[in-house]
Amino acid sequence: MVSDSKAAGGLSIRNRVSTGGEIQASTAAPTARYPLTSGQSSYYAQERARPEMSSSISATYRIEGELDVARFAEAIARTVGQHDALRIGLCDDVRLGTPTQLVRHQPDNASLLSCQQVRSSSEEQFSRYARLVHGKDLAEPWDLTTEYPFRFRLLRHSPTVHAFLASFSQVALDGRGMALVLRDLWQNFEHDTAHPDFPSVPQRPSFVRAAEQHAAGGSPRTAGFWQQRIAENCPSGEPPTERPDTIDQPRCVMAQATVSGAERAMLRERSKTYGCTEFQLTIAALAHAVLTEVATDDRLHIWLPVDARSPGDFDTSGMFTVSLPVALPRTGSLLEMARQVREEVMAVAANRQMDHAALAALQASFRETDTSRGWTVSAGYSNRDQNPGEKVAQGVVARPGSYPADFQYISRGVELKVLGGAGSLSITLALDSVFSADTAADRLLNAFSAGLGGIRLARCA
């Protein structure tokens, strides 16, 4: 049996240093209103349209060793003070037509970190409980008109084993933003930056100030680029394709491959031959497979998450990522498709910064095509070398990814996820259950594998 208790009766957080007056939060005016970034605006609209979908991004760590909980809590407090993206609130004012955001004051330390003593008979039971709590946090909707966009939990199994669960609203942070926050959290913990005799982590650039600059940013060239793409898209105007009854079908078909060693060397050489990156080659292989095996159109677009940060925003946390379509006409060969992918990805990245109205018009046009067809295609890439990995600090070891939430994954089309790294490359393909009604899933997987030079993806149970 597992039970838990709050900090008052569970973990004890000693007041080692009174940090309340020492945390230097960013100085955005507390009553000022700031525009959302295009990424925030788009995700906010998506969140309202599909409230059943999780709108969280998260990280988990298994912390081994005797953790100084008070020091860790202070590190969290300083990190929240450094990043105003962790203190934003939404002002959904109907008079303005679009929501705006403000920066809240630094919250009191007691509300920053939820600490629980977990009574469990084994670490396996503790891990199941941690995954359950993580899943509940991810499923819980956010109301940023009243709450902060983070949930920090520290679960204790024993004096030398803790689980740290961090969840964030994706209206506040994208993947890059979360990596910056976690980087500073562990640096604050390691160096005890609250102590006057130790160097402090510098105040990070203001997210809301960057959002303000982005709102005034869109260029006529970018607007013209996307107007042309919208004109070329030409949604058919036909009624949406009726989706088959999939109640008795698995929710989606998932297949994965971990590419390393000789296979990774082959993929790198193949990418070099095709004049593109490994990720671009996987996109080309997927587009070629979809157009060859299941699509009847002569054009396909694939949605990519694109970081719209300007060079000056590289070290700014927040939500800058926008979902943009890469348009790919049907070709006669994978080589030609790879060339198209390379050129189109570069063009989309060069025109990634646009105002809210332009992004809304663009997404509406291409989503109409998806609706008419009945499914969508998306691809995403992340690099494990760019994300905070295992941390060793103050006598503890923090191992990331230790408590994944148990989710029933739902795909509404074809979704490709690629996780890169120096040693291995992980490729995951999720197919909507509409493809499992016949042999479409097998045909897609076989054609995709052929495009990758024979790398086979194994179906997940």
| Range of lowest pLDDT (66-70, 356-360, 381-385) | 381-385
> What letter would DSSP give residue 249?
S
- Residue 20's pLDDT band (boundaries 50, 70, 90)? very low
pLDDT over 90, % of the chain: 58
* pTM assigned to the model: 0.86
Please state, as a whole number, how many other Cβ atoms lie within 10 Å of the Cβ of residue 213: 14
- Asked whether the beta carbons of 88 and 31 are under 8 A apart, the reply is no
d(CA 268, CA 274): 10
> What digits encode the pLDDT tens for the residues 70-93?
999 999 999 999 999 999 999 976
pLDDT at position 246: 45
**Looking at the predicted structure, is the pLDDT value of residue 189 above 80?**
yes
Distance CA 16, CA 10 (A): 18
**The pLDDT value given to residue 81:** 94
Q: DSSP letter for 134, please.
A: H
How many whole angstroms separate alpha carbon 413 and alpha carbon 318? Answer: 28
Tens-place pLDDT, residues 375-396: 889 999 988 655 667 888 999 9
Task: Please answer whether residues 90 and 48 qualify as being in contact, where contact means their C-beta atoms are separated by less than 8 angstroms.
Answer: no
Rounded average pLDDT over 51-77: 91
pLDDT of residue 247: 45
Mean pLDDT on 256-264: 96
**Residue 458, both tokens:** 């194994």
Q: Exposure string (b/e) for 284-293, b if CB count within 10 Å is 16 or more?
A: bbbbbbbbeb
Q: How confident is the model at residue 176 (pLDDT cuts 50, 70, 90)?
A: very high
| H or E element in which residue 415 lies | strand 413-420
Closest to 386 in 3D by CA, of 132, 175, 185, 163: 175
List the beta bridge partners of residue 258: 426
Q: What is the residue-averaged pLDDT of the chain?
A: 85
End-to-end CA distance of the chain: give it in Å, rounded: 29
How many CB atoms within 10 Å of residue 359? 23
Mean pLDDT to the nearest integer, 131-153: 94
Rounded to whole angstroms, how far apart are CA atoms 461 and 453?
24
Residue 358's pLDDT is 86
Place of tokens 């006529």: 220
Q: What is the pLDDT of residue 251?
A: 62
